[in-house]
A and B are shown apart, each in its own frame.
Chain A
Amino acid sequence: MTPSTIELVVTEDDRRIARYAAAAIALTVAEAALPSPLPGVKPGLANIIVLVVLMRYGWRDAAWVSVLRVLAGGLLLGQLFAPGFFLALAGAAGSLAVLAVAVHLPRCWFGAVAISVLAAFAHIGGQLLLARLWLVPHDGVFYLVPVFATAALVFGTVNGLVAARLLAAAALSPGPAPPESA
């Protein structure tokens, strides 16, 4: 084999992000098999991974994992560039925007659940905004707000609890302490 002239340097950061993204993608694919009463009402299990990454390594890593998850999830499910893909992207963008702020909340008062619920509401906010602007240009979509908001509250809480449990375990597990995130 001809040796490549381009050498890609894989840093420790890249490996870590790839691992977490792989876990998030696996959860996305597993979740796609679950039946849903209404398109768009999904637990969003991959967000557990995004939360764990956010709280251990900061917003930049979380954004990488989230966007890679949406891209690769779209590829694997055959949804790339379909409306569902753009809705997922809008949701991810909305929640990342809120996470950028929420990550600065004082940790002694606010745990993973608060951040998770805020991100879940931002997620449906981003999705509804895109749906209103592009897919269903009628105010009728807002009649679904209570359904989506309830789902965001419930699944945001559950995902946050799981992430809190994982973070507690990570704090106890041996190994070098994660770098202080902003």
Chain B
Amino acid sequence: MKDRLPDDLRALFNAAWRGGEAARAWHQELKAGDWLVLLLGSIAVACSCALLWRGGVADRAIVQRDGKTVVELSLDSARKVPVDGALGVTVIEVQPGRARVLSDPGPRQYCVQQGWLTRAGAVAICAPSHITLQLNGGNGGKAGYDSLNY
């Protein structure tokens, strides 16, 4: 009776092992629906990576003077925006996906030399003009720090 049990796992494993060489290749165990599920699963994995680990992409530039927002620019079209600072006019340039301080009347030009900002949370500070340029990202505008104050 016992060895007639269909669920005798030892017999099952033995049969699977013996049949191993003569049996089909592994990919032949897959049916059409299996391939479909594997494809959908791969897409789901790729989407989860793209959605959850894309945090660093910036989509807005925020220009502030003395800690107050002067203008908010979306990073989807190219343009140049003049902003009045403490010393004169500071020009902010925006291109798709990036922004920079094009010119500033400050003496040392640190914020201009910083060049293009591309990542969310990046900041260029023109201290003499009291101007900051800051990029924010898509996930709630969260940067790597809590706050920034002039």
Contact = CB atoms under 8 A, between A and B. Distances in A.
Interface of A: 16, 19-20, 23, 52, 56-57, 105-106, 108-114, 117-118, 121, 142-143, 145-146, 149-150, 152-153, 156-157, 160-161, 164-166, 168-170, 172-173, 175-178
Contacts of A165: 16, 19-20, 23, 26, 29
Contacts of A149: 41, 44-45, 48
Name the interface size band of chain B: 20 to 34
B5 interface: yes
Contact of B6 (A110, A121, A160, A175): A175
A170 B30 CA distance: 17
Interface string B3-28: 01111110111011001100110100
A170 B12 contact: yes
- Tell me which of B15, B34, B44 has the highest count of chain A C-beta atoms within 10 A of its own C-beta: B34
B130 to A, nearest CB: 36
B29 A161 contact: yes
B38 interface: yes
